[in-house]
């Protein structure tokens, strides 16, 4: 009998060599395909989905994929989930989602935090796993409950007031007056870049000032996004991949919430101009904005009577709740399972720039993805661009053409950019947005008989950009 200290396998043994063969990773030339996906309706902050946890949102997206496709649970090799507002109540939310959704216990699962490109990264990650031969079919996506972002107490547990929960409760009244303790809104904290100390709305205003994007242009773009979104919602476009969210037998939300909360703007567009500028008011002037951000607003100076703030709540994306997921598989496995293959993943790319102008990062990520796919920007038939702010989208139009001859403006005017609306109208459930963009593209190209090649591109806090090129299957 072997001692417990004797190795189970020894070099040279037949079993050892067999184990090595199983564990050895071999990159393959497999083709990656998307076989459809589903998402929840997107809920507005503190509205219909406010009481739903991010893990339950993700569970709903995964279960609706199983319900709405030919995929059976045991075929899933792994699940990759993006989640920006990660919390201790659901450590590794991907694994929790696997178990809550009834997927096999064997499934590999991990969680990604790459801000707003998190679920683009999960899809790229699934492709990488397939390429390395680790599995043949993954579910990839993202989830977010911005309504559930907590308030945090920052400080060391060495402090006597923070040594235990009982100590916190006993000293609650004096916590906010203690210089060693900070009470924090994690939403505002998370939307502020810790390196450049600038929040996301300010990055949009910087882009607007640097690239001379007027308030009127931004409002017109945001209004167009709203109108296209409402038209798509009413025509049933989103019915192909949005499943009503139910809890305890009751439908909490059947369709995306924010477009209909802003429906009046589409009917009375003059209301767009009544929204106050975020950085041009009695408490914070545009002159001060220029002063505080002079190192970012390069080549431009404040001009009294001319310079004015442009970013408003109406031309910025909304904070939201929701989840989305797609099936990523090798082409061979998808065919074996009889899945409906909708698109082939041709390439992807990620690129970082200075966080102060994070909104133009899609230009550079898109160029990486296009070059890897071996195609030109002009070859694209449809594009889904993340609309964090109207200012950033319009800046992408300018920078793309100047830097890489990407004629976004012409594509936009031809109706090829966000033809079914975008983030400005739908809302932005942070980590779910990348997959939401992919779903828009996949099902949009299915609807368009003339579409063959498509691009998804998104910016993210921290200056990261992500992009992915798809080709319609068949």
Cα angle for residues 200, 202, 207 (degrees, 5° grid): 100
Are 61 and 323 in contact by the 8 Å Cβ rule? The answer is yes
Are 313 and 275 in contact by the 8 Å Cβ rule? The answer is yes
> Which residue in the list 35, 317, 393, 459 is annotated as catalytic?
459
C-beta atoms surrounding 457 within 10 Å: 32
Would you put residue 155 in left (φ > 0), alpha (ψ -120 to 50) or beta? Answer: left
Annotated catalytic residue 428: yes
Annotated catalytic residue 116: yes
> Which residue in the list 44, 241, 420, 428 is annotated as catalytic?
428
DSSP 276: P
Among 222, 192, 201, which Cα is nearest to 359's? 201
DSSP 280: S
Q: What is the DSSP string of 136-170?
A: SEEEEEEEEEGGGPPEEEES-TTSGGGSSHHHHHH
Residue 277 is encoded by which pair of tokens? 């500028």
Are 227 and 266 in contact by the 8 Å Cβ rule? The answer is yes
> Which residue in the list 35, 116, 207, 393 is annotated as catalytic?
116
SS3 at position 460: strand
Q: Say how far apart CA 368 and CA 362 lie, in whole Å.
A: 10
* Catalytic residue numbers, as ranges: 116, 428, 459
């Amino acid at each position: 009998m072997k001692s417990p200290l004797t190795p189970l396998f020894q070099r040279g043994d037949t079993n050892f060599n067999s184990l090595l063969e199983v564990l050895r990773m071999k990159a393959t030339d497999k083709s990656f395909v998307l076989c459809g996906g589903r998402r929840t309706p997107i809920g507005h902050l503190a509205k219909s989905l406010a009481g739903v946890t991010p893990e339950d949102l993700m569970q709903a997206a995964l279960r609706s994929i199983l319900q709405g496709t030919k995929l059976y649970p045991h075929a899933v090799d792994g699940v990759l989930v993006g989640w920006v507002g990660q919390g201790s109540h659901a450590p590794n939310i991907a694994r929790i989602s696997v178990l809550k959704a009834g997927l096999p216990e064997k499934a590999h699962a991990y969680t990604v935090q790459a801000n707003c490109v998190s679920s683009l990264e999960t899809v790229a990650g699934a492709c990488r796993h397939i390429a390395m031969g680790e599995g043949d079919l993954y579910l990839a996506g993202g989830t977010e409950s911005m309504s559930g972002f907590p308030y945090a107490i920052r400080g060391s547990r060495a402090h006597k007031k923070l040594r235990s929960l009982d100590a916190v409760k006993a000293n609650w009244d004096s916590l906010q007056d203690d210089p060693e303790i900070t009470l924090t809104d994690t939403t505002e904290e998370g939307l502020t870049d810790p390196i450049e100390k600038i929040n996301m709305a300010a990055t949009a205003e910087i882009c607007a000032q640097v690239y001379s994007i007027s308030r009127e242009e931004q409002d017109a773009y945001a209004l167009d996004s709203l109108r296209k979104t409402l038209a798509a919602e009413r025509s049933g476009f989103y019915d192909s991949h949005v499943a009503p969210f139910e809890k305890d037998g009751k439908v909490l939300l059947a369709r995306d919430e924010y477009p209909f909360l802003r429906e009046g703007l589409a009917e009375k567009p003059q209301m767009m101009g009544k929204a106050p500028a975020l950085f041009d008011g009695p408490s914070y002037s545009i002159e001060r904005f220029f002063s505080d951000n002079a190192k970012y607003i390069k080549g431009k100076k404040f001009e009294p009577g001319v310079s004015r703030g442009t970013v408003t709540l109406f031309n910025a994306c909304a904070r939201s709740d929701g989840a989305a997921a797609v099936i990523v598989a090798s082409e061979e496995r998808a065919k074996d399972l009889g899945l409906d293959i909708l698109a082939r993943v041709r390439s992807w790319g990620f690129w970082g720039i200075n966080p102060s102008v994070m909104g133009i990062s899609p230009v550079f990520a898109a160029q990486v993805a296009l070059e890897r796919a071996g195609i030109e920007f002009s070859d694209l038939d449809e594009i889904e661009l993340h609309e964090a702010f109207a200012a950033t989208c319009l800046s992408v139009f300018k920078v793309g053409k100047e830097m890489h001859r990407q004629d976004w403006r012409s594509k936009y005017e031809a109706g090829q950019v966000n033809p079914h609306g975008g983030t400005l109208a739908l809302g932005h459930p942070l980590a779910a947005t990348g997959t939401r963009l992919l779903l828009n593209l996949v099902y949009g190209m299915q609807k368009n008989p003339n579409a063959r090649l498509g691009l998804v591109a998104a910016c993210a806090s921290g200056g990261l950009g992500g992009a992915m090129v798809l080709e319609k299957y068949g």
